[in-house]
Amino acid sequence: MVKVGIIGAMELEVSALKGQLAGINIKKKAGMEFCEGKICGVDVVVVRCGIGKVNAALCVQILCDDFGVSHIINTGVAGSLNNDLNIGDILISKDAVHHDVDVTIFSYKIGEVPQLGIREFPADAGLISAAEKAIKEKQPDLNYRVGRVASGDQFISSSEVKERIIKNFEADCAEMEGASIAHGAYLNGIPFVIIRAISDKADGSAEQDYPSFEKAAAAHCAKLVADMLPLI
């Protein structure tokens, strides 16, 4: 049975989805409100996990253990690391990597969590195509890419850090939860995808752009997530 866990870090990333829930039932755990119900006839659990990798990982485990989700979607905003992705555009994850993990001193690749045997956590092909199909059917003018998400417990707002992440990871966007969600989903054997709308360029302009565009970008992304649910 399909039951989709939908995670956003901030309330503005999940509020539109919560507004669409039919038959809502709320359970609290670890400071998070898990909102169960149906969107477009699909069983979902919508949750705001809070910002950063620890919150995101805890949330994934609760969705798996207490709610038995079959799929996980992470929705939200991100800083662009790719000149072809501008504010308002969409990045669908091909995979996700931790940009703030560095155990290179012991010959691991930059970003590789030791002894795990994987650096880039691959997103589910079926969820990627559901997202692409939803865009083609419902928002054909939307610019999107399927690419790499780089996550860390940092808001990226300098060209120097941005260039380092691009050089090390060939990533397309930076945010603060996706790789943890991917990592947790991988450990639990649950298919996942990350869908992010670009809110800023992850450089010196981010300080101005992010507050102006985060709300619209987050709502935009949530609409796409709702549109893809019946296609899973």
- Catalytic site includes residue 200: yes
Question: Which CB contacts under 8 angstroms, 24+ apart, belong to 21-25?
Answer: 21/46
Report strand pairing: 42-48 vs 3-8.
parallel
Q: Are 188 and 197 in contact (CB under 8 A)?
A: no
CA distances from 78 to 8, 41, 87 (A): 12, 29, 9
CA distance 38 to 20: 8
Residue 175 engages ligand ADE in binding (rule: CB under 6 A): yes
Q: Between residues 137 and 207, which has the closer beta carbon with respect to ligand ADE?
A: 207
Q: Between residues 10 and 146, which has the closer beta carbon with respect to ligand ADE?
A: 10
- Catalytic site includes residue 137: no
Which residue in the list 13, 95, 175, 227 is annotated as catalytic? 13
Please, what's the largest Cα pairwise distance for the chain? 52
Residue 199 engages ligand ADE in binding (rule: CB under 6 A): yes
Site for ligand ADE in 59-88 (CB under 6 A): 77-79
CA distance 121 to 114: 14
CA distance 41 to 15: 18
Which residue in the list 124, 172, 177, 200 is annotated as catalytic? 200
The stretch among 116-124, 135-143, 151-159, 164-172 that binds ligand ADE (CB under 6 A) is 151-159
* Shortest Cβ 5–ligand ADE spacing (Å): 20
Residue 178 engages ligand ADE in binding (rule: CB under 6 A): no
Q: Between residues 25 and 143, which has the closer beta carbon with respect to ligand ADE?
A: 143
Question: Where in the sequence numbering do the catalytic residues fall?
Answer: 13, 200
- Chain residues binding ligand ADE by CB under 6 A are 77-79, 155-157, 174-176, 199-200, 202, 206, 210
